[in-house]
Amino acid sequence: MAFKKIGVVGCGLMGRGIVEVSAKTGYDVVVSEINKELLDKGMAAINQSVARAVEKGKMTEDDKNKALGKIKGTTDMKDFKDCDLVVEAAIENLDLKKKIFLDLDRICRPDAILSTNTSCLSVMDVAAVTKRPDKVLGCHFFNPVPIMKLLELVKTITTAKVTLDAAVEWGKSLGKTVIVAPDRPGFIVNRSFMPYMIEAFEMYEQGVASREDIDTGVQLGLNHPMGPLTLADMVGLDTLLFVTDAIYAETKNPKFIAPVLLRKMVTAGYLGRKTGKGFYDYK
Protein backbone atom coordinates (compact mmCIF):
# COMPACT_ATOMS: atom_id res chain seq x y z
CA MET A 1 0.00 0.00 0.00
CA ALA A 2 1.55 3.28 -1.14
CA PHE A 3 0.44 6.53 0.45
CA LYS A 4 -0.13 9.65 -1.63
CA LYS A 5 -2.24 11.87 0.62
CA ILE A 6 -1.69 12.29 4.35
CA GLY A 7 -4.11 13.80 6.85
CA VAL A 8 -3.05 15.33 10.16
CA VAL A 9 -5.52 16.17 12.92
CA GLY A 10 -4.12 19.11 14.87
CA CYS A 11 -1.70 21.83 13.80
CA GLY A 12 -0.01 22.30 17.15
CA LEU A 13 3.66 21.64 17.87
CA MET A 14 3.64 17.95 16.90
CA GLY A 15 1.00 18.12 14.19
CA ARG A 16 2.66 20.87 12.21
CA GLY A 17 5.98 19.04 12.40
CA ILE A 18 4.37 15.94 10.88
CA VAL A 19 2.78 18.13 8.21
CA GLU A 20 6.12 19.74 7.38
CA VAL A 21 8.15 16.54 7.00
CA SER A 22 5.38 14.90 4.97
CA ALA A 23 5.07 17.86 2.58
CA LYS A 24 8.84 18.14 2.21
CA THR A 25 9.01 14.55 1.02
CA GLY A 26 6.35 15.06 -1.63
CA TYR A 27 3.10 13.98 0.01
CA ASP A 28 -0.09 15.97 -0.36
CA VAL A 29 -1.15 16.90 3.18
CA VAL A 30 -4.43 18.03 4.73
CA VAL A 31 -4.18 19.44 8.26
CA SER A 32 -7.13 20.37 10.46
CA GLU A 33 -7.69 22.55 13.49
CA ILE A 34 -10.77 23.26 15.57
CA ASN A 35 -10.91 26.92 14.48
CA LYS A 36 -9.35 29.30 11.95
CA GLU A 37 -7.29 31.13 14.55
CA LEU A 38 -5.42 27.99 15.62
CA LEU A 39 -5.11 26.85 12.01
CA ASP A 40 -3.59 30.17 10.92
CA LYS A 41 -1.17 30.04 13.85
CA GLY A 42 -0.04 26.55 12.94
CA MET A 43 0.32 27.33 9.24
CA ALA A 44 2.36 30.43 10.05
CA ALA A 45 4.70 28.31 12.18
CA ILE A 46 5.17 25.85 9.28
CA ASN A 47 6.03 28.76 6.99
CA GLN A 48 8.57 30.07 9.48
CA SER A 49 10.14 26.64 9.91
CA VAL A 50 10.68 26.02 6.21
CA ALA A 51 11.91 29.61 5.78
CA ARG A 52 14.57 28.91 8.42
CA ALA A 53 15.52 25.75 6.55
CA VAL A 54 16.14 27.87 3.43
CA GLU A 55 18.21 30.36 5.44
CA LYS A 56 20.36 27.52 6.75
CA GLY A 57 20.87 26.07 3.29
CA LYS A 58 18.94 22.88 4.05
CA MET A 59 16.47 23.44 1.23
CA THR A 60 16.09 25.78 -1.75
CA GLU A 61 13.48 28.48 -2.18
CA ASP A 62 11.92 26.38 -4.94
CA ASP A 63 11.75 23.33 -2.66
CA LYS A 64 10.15 25.47 0.05
CA ASN A 65 7.44 26.69 -2.32
CA LYS A 66 6.78 23.16 -3.57
CA ALA A 67 6.42 21.87 0.00
CA LEU A 68 4.09 24.67 1.07
CA GLY A 69 2.02 24.09 -2.07
CA LYS A 70 1.41 20.52 -0.92
CA ILE A 71 -0.34 21.63 2.28
CA LYS A 72 -4.02 22.37 2.67
CA GLY A 73 -5.42 23.68 5.95
CA THR A 74 -9.00 23.06 6.98
CA THR A 75 -11.44 23.30 9.89
CA ASP A 76 -13.69 20.62 8.36
CA MET A 77 -12.73 17.01 9.10
CA LYS A 78 -14.69 15.89 6.04
CA ASP A 79 -11.63 16.98 4.05
CA PHE A 80 -9.92 13.78 5.24
CA LYS A 81 -12.31 11.67 3.17
CA ASP A 82 -9.75 10.80 0.46
CA CYS A 83 -6.61 10.50 2.62
CA ASP A 84 -4.62 7.25 2.60
CA LEU A 85 -3.29 7.77 6.14
CA VAL A 86 -4.51 10.10 8.88
CA VAL A 87 -2.36 10.90 11.90
CA GLU A 88 -4.20 12.25 14.95
CA ALA A 89 -1.97 14.71 16.82
CA ALA A 90 -4.39 16.15 19.37
CA ILE A 91 -3.61 16.64 23.06
CA GLU A 92 -3.09 13.57 25.26
CA ASN A 93 -6.70 13.06 26.26
CA LEU A 94 -8.08 9.59 25.66
CA ASP A 95 -11.73 10.63 25.48
CA LEU A 96 -10.90 13.32 22.91
CA LYS A 97 -8.87 10.87 20.84
CA LYS A 98 -11.73 8.36 20.88
CA LYS A 99 -14.13 11.03 19.62
CA ILE A 100 -11.73 11.98 16.83
CA PHE A 101 -11.33 8.35 15.79
CA LEU A 102 -15.09 7.85 15.72
CA ASP A 103 -15.34 10.80 13.34
CA LEU A 104 -12.40 9.64 11.21
CA ASP A 105 -13.81 6.12 10.99
CA ARG A 106 -17.04 7.54 9.63
CA ILE A 107 -15.40 10.02 7.23
CA CYS A 108 -12.38 8.19 5.82
CA ARG A 109 -12.34 5.51 3.14
CA PRO A 110 -12.67 1.95 4.49
CA ASP A 111 -9.11 1.14 3.37
CA ALA A 112 -7.54 4.25 4.97
CA ILE A 113 -5.12 3.75 7.85
CA LEU A 114 -5.71 5.71 11.07
CA SER A 115 -2.95 6.44 13.57
CA THR A 116 -2.43 8.31 16.82
CA ASN A 117 0.65 10.27 17.83
CA THR A 118 0.24 9.42 21.51
CA SER A 119 3.38 9.07 23.60
CA CYS A 120 1.90 6.82 26.30
CA LEU A 121 -1.84 6.17 25.95
CA SER A 122 -3.27 2.79 24.93
CA VAL A 123 -3.58 2.61 21.15
CA MET A 124 -5.97 -0.34 21.48
CA ASP A 125 -8.41 1.80 23.44
CA VAL A 126 -8.56 4.18 20.48
CA ALA A 127 -8.68 1.44 17.85
CA ALA A 128 -11.58 -0.28 19.63
CA VAL A 129 -14.02 2.56 18.89
CA THR A 130 -13.54 2.07 15.13
CA LYS A 131 -14.83 -0.53 12.70
CA ARG A 132 -11.27 -0.98 11.38
CA PRO A 133 -9.02 -1.92 14.35
CA ASP A 134 -6.79 -3.84 11.93
CA LYS A 135 -5.99 -0.52 10.23
CA VAL A 136 -5.12 1.42 13.40
CA LEU A 137 -1.65 1.87 14.94
CA GLY A 138 0.42 4.37 16.89
CA CYS A 139 2.82 6.76 15.14
CA HIS A 140 4.89 8.31 17.92
CA PHE A 141 7.02 11.13 16.52
CA PHE A 142 9.52 13.06 18.64
CA ASN A 143 9.84 16.80 19.11
CA PRO A 144 10.97 18.69 17.08
CA VAL A 145 9.66 16.43 14.31
CA PRO A 146 11.72 17.94 11.43
CA ILE A 147 14.95 17.32 13.37
CA MET A 148 14.44 14.16 15.45
CA LYS A 149 15.27 11.07 13.40
CA LEU A 150 13.18 8.49 15.26
CA LEU A 151 9.65 7.28 14.57
CA GLU A 152 8.24 4.78 17.07
CA LEU A 153 5.39 2.79 15.53
CA VAL A 154 3.06 1.05 17.97
CA LYS A 155 1.42 -2.22 16.95
CA THR A 156 -1.71 -3.35 18.79
CA ILE A 157 -2.89 -6.95 18.99
CA THR A 158 -5.32 -6.15 16.13
CA THR A 159 -2.99 -4.19 13.82
CA ALA A 160 -2.64 -6.04 10.52
CA LYS A 161 0.80 -6.76 9.09
CA VAL A 162 -0.06 -4.91 5.89
CA THR A 163 -0.96 -1.83 7.98
CA LEU A 164 2.31 -1.92 9.88
CA ASP A 165 4.37 -2.55 6.74
CA ALA A 166 2.79 0.42 4.97
CA ALA A 167 3.47 2.69 7.97
CA VAL A 168 7.08 1.50 8.16
CA GLU A 169 7.66 2.38 4.51
CA TRP A 170 6.03 5.78 4.99
CA GLY A 171 8.22 6.50 8.02
CA LYS A 172 11.35 5.56 6.10
CA SER A 173 10.29 7.78 3.20
CA LEU A 174 10.25 10.70 5.65
CA GLY A 175 13.89 10.00 6.45
CA LYS A 176 13.09 8.53 9.86
CA THR A 177 14.62 5.53 11.53
CA VAL A 178 11.63 3.35 12.41
CA ILE A 179 11.30 1.11 15.44
CA VAL A 180 8.26 -1.02 16.28
CA ALA A 181 6.93 -1.16 19.83
CA PRO A 182 4.15 -3.24 21.37
CA ASP A 183 1.10 -1.44 22.72
CA ARG A 184 2.39 -1.42 26.28
CA PRO A 185 2.57 1.57 28.68
CA GLY A 186 5.34 3.95 27.59
CA PHE A 187 6.15 1.81 24.53
CA ILE A 188 9.98 1.60 24.19
CA VAL A 189 11.35 5.11 24.53
CA ASN A 190 9.29 6.53 27.40
CA ARG A 191 9.39 3.26 29.31
CA SER A 192 13.19 3.56 29.46
CA PHE A 193 13.28 7.36 29.58
CA MET A 194 11.01 8.09 32.53
CA PRO A 195 12.88 6.14 35.26
CA TYR A 196 16.05 7.97 34.18
CA MET A 197 14.30 11.33 34.49
CA ILE A 198 12.68 10.41 37.81
CA GLU A 199 16.09 9.52 39.27
CA ALA A 200 17.46 12.93 38.23
CA PHE A 201 14.46 14.71 39.78
CA GLU A 202 14.89 12.78 43.03
CA MET A 203 18.62 13.51 43.21
CA TYR A 204 17.87 17.21 42.94
CA GLU A 205 14.91 16.98 45.34
CA GLN A 206 17.02 15.17 47.96
CA GLY A 207 19.97 17.56 47.66
CA VAL A 208 22.36 14.92 46.30
CA ALA A 209 23.80 17.50 43.88
CA SER A 210 23.05 20.87 42.34
CA ARG A 211 20.96 21.05 39.18
CA GLU A 212 24.04 22.24 37.27
CA ASP A 213 26.19 19.34 38.46
CA ILE A 214 23.48 16.78 37.70
CA ASP A 215 23.14 18.13 34.18
CA THR A 216 26.87 18.49 33.58
CA GLY A 217 27.58 15.03 34.98
CA VAL A 218 25.10 13.35 32.66
CA GLN A 219 25.93 15.49 29.65
CA LEU A 220 29.68 14.99 29.76
CA GLY A 221 29.90 11.69 31.63
CA LEU A 222 27.31 9.88 29.51
CA ASN A 223 27.84 11.95 26.33
CA HIS A 224 24.24 13.17 26.22
CA PRO A 225 23.45 16.33 24.25
CA MET A 226 21.97 17.93 27.37
CA GLY A 227 21.40 17.12 31.03
CA PRO A 228 18.10 15.66 32.31
CA LEU A 229 16.87 18.79 34.09
CA THR A 230 17.54 20.97 31.05
CA LEU A 231 15.79 18.36 28.93
CA ALA A 232 12.83 18.28 31.31
CA ASP A 233 12.41 22.04 30.96
CA MET A 234 12.50 21.72 27.19
CA VAL A 235 9.96 18.86 27.04
CA GLY A 236 7.65 20.42 29.63
CA LEU A 237 7.24 19.25 33.21
CA ASP A 238 3.49 18.86 32.79
CA THR A 239 4.09 16.52 29.85
CA LEU A 240 6.54 14.43 31.84
CA LEU A 241 4.14 14.22 34.79
CA PHE A 242 1.32 13.12 32.51
CA VAL A 243 3.45 10.39 30.92
CA THR A 244 4.71 9.17 34.30
CA ASP A 245 1.23 9.05 35.79
CA ALA A 246 -0.17 7.28 32.73
CA ILE A 247 2.50 4.57 32.81
CA TYR A 248 2.11 4.08 36.57
CA ALA A 249 -1.68 3.85 36.25
CA GLU A 250 -1.27 0.92 33.85
CA THR A 251 1.69 -0.88 35.44
CA LYS A 252 1.54 0.03 39.16
CA ASN A 253 5.33 -0.25 39.02
CA PRO A 254 6.79 1.97 41.79
CA LYS A 255 9.67 3.10 39.60
CA PHE A 256 7.11 5.22 37.72
CA ILE A 257 5.82 7.10 40.76
CA ALA A 258 6.28 10.81 40.10
CA PRO A 259 8.49 12.65 42.61
CA VAL A 260 6.72 15.06 44.94
CA LEU A 261 8.83 17.95 43.62
CA LEU A 262 7.72 17.34 40.03
CA ARG A 263 4.05 17.33 41.02
CA LYS A 264 4.41 20.52 43.09
CA MET A 265 6.28 22.33 40.30
CA VAL A 266 3.49 21.50 37.84
CA THR A 267 0.88 22.69 40.36
CA ALA A 268 2.80 25.94 40.73
CA GLY A 269 2.89 26.42 36.97
CA TYR A 270 6.65 25.90 36.71
CA LEU A 271 6.46 23.91 33.49
CA GLY A 272 9.83 24.76 31.95
CA ARG A 273 10.69 26.88 28.95
CA LYS A 274 7.09 27.37 27.85
CA THR A 275 6.23 29.22 31.07
CA GLY A 276 9.63 30.84 31.60
CA LYS A 277 10.45 28.83 34.73
CA GLY A 278 11.14 25.19 35.53
CA PHE A 279 14.30 23.76 37.03
CA TYR A 280 15.93 26.83 35.52
CA ASP A 281 14.67 30.40 35.11
CA TYR A 282 14.18 31.50 31.49
CA LYS A 283 12.77 34.96 32.16
Q: Contact, 27 vs 4, CB < 8 A?
A: yes
CA-CA distance, 25 to 78, in Å (whole number)?
24
Q: Contact, 24 vs 59, CB < 8 A?
A: yes
Active-site residue 92, yes or no? no
Active-site residue 140, yes or no? yes
Query: Angle 154-75-78 (CA atoms, 0-180°, nearest 5)?
Result: 70
Catalytic residue among 20, 33, 88, 152: 152
CA-CA distance, 208 to 30, in Å (whole number)?
50
Catalytic residue among 20, 33, 88, 140: 140
Torsion angles phi and psi, residue 137, rounded to 5:
-155, 170
Active-site residue 55, yes or no? no
Catalytic residue among 55, 190, 210, 250: 190
Catalytic residue among 32, 49, 115, 119: 119
Half-sphere exposure of 89 (CA within 13 A, CB side): 28
Active-site residue 224, yes or no? no
- Residues carrying an active site annotation: 119, 140, 152, 190
